[in-house]
Chain A
Amino acid sequence: NAGVTQTPKFRVLKTGQSMTLLCAQDMNHEYMYWYRQDPGMGLRLIHYSVGEGTTAKGEVPDGYNVSRLKKQNFLLGLESAAPSQTSVYFCASSYSRTGTGELFFGEGSRLTVL
């Protein structure tokens, strides 16, 4: 039982390049989230999804896009990376159908934009 798996774990990009972070969960959870973690700012919600085919904006959605084509996968895309997007990205999922349960996190993906 892998839980929540994020790929890649590390990536270095040049400004303007694009990339996609993949989050996969094998727990049949409805809710999935993408957060970014920056020093002194905690975890900030980028986008989230309440189920397959649905997405919603979080606190800091600009510069990111997401898709939830399959229930088990939640993709985070950066179309044109900027240095301000250098961060550690965490994906999470929740078993609760109402989104009120605790979150299960992946190990994080460290992204550096030069």
Chain B
Amino acid sequence: AQKVTQAQTEISVVEKEDVTLDCVYETRDTTYYLFWYKQPPSGELVFLIRRNSFDEQNEISGRYSWNFQKSTSSFNFTITASQVVDSAVYFCALSEADTGGFKTIFGAGTRLFVKA
């Protein structure tokens, strides 16, 4: 069985603070894929990043960075110098092989409030 845990339900920060969103996953497969998605108040779901299980390199994209550690089954997301526009719900997701194909399972999400 696969499982994605985002223990932080809500986080509130003041603009320009750094914030890290945690994601812990469970899987018995050696081949799997991890994702982060953003859902702003408008409701659409926006893809942020994809990582496969064989690539543990951390990634930075502007103010966003991701830390993938297989040893702790974690794929954490850090926003540096947060801005009000970062306010959204962020979902971590895991894709692994299933009897019907690869399926993607999401965590419960972390709601981030960035106050001006």
Residues of chain A having any CB pair with chain B under 8 Å: 31, 33, 35, 40-45, 48, 50, 54-59, 88, 90, 92, 94, 96, 98-105, 107-108
Contact digits for B1-45, partner A, Cβ 8 Å, 1 yes 0 no: 000001001000000000000000000000001010100000111
A103 x B104 contact (CB < 8 A): yes
Residues of chain B having any CB pair with chain A under 8 Å: 6, 9, 33, 35, 37, 43-45, 47, 50, 52, 91, 93, 95, 98-109
Contacts of B91 in A (CB 8 A): 42-43
Interchain CA distance A90-B44 in the complex, whole Å: 9
Interface of B is mostly: strand
A107 x B43 contact (CB < 8 A): yes
Residue in B closest to A108 when the chains form the complex, CB atoms: B43
Contacts of B100 in A (CB 8 A): 48, 50, 54-57
Residue in A closest to B2 when the chains form the complex, CB atoms: A59
A42 x B101 contact (CB < 8 A): no
A48 x B50 contact (CB < 8 A): no
B102 x A35 contact (CB < 8 A): no
